[in-house]
Amino acid sequence: MAEYTFIGDIHSAADDLAVLLADTSITQTRLIFLGDYIDGTAGRHFRHVTQAAPLDPLGVLELV
């Protein structure tokens, strides 16, 4: 039986997606992409902190 990994709302964060796709725990699973691939804002929000984030929509499309 196949195992699945669901990845959602990438929002142009190619660097984060590359790290996720390199994780050996998901390399043998079927990937299901959901949500927004290439839109987003130039920041990542973690509770009360906003961190600048580079947007790379073409990089995301290449990885997907």
pLDDT at 52: 72
pLDDT at 8: 92
pLDDT values of the chain reduced to their tens digit, one per residue, 64 residues:
789 999 998 988 899 999 999 999 998 999 999 988 987 666 667 778 777 777 888 999 999 9
pLDDT at 50: 76
Tell me the three state secondary structure of residue 1. coil
pLDDT at 1: 79
Question: How does strand 30-34 pair with strand 4-8?
Answer: parallel
- Burial (CB count within 10 angstroms: exposed 0-12, middle 13-18, buried 19+), residue 35: exposed
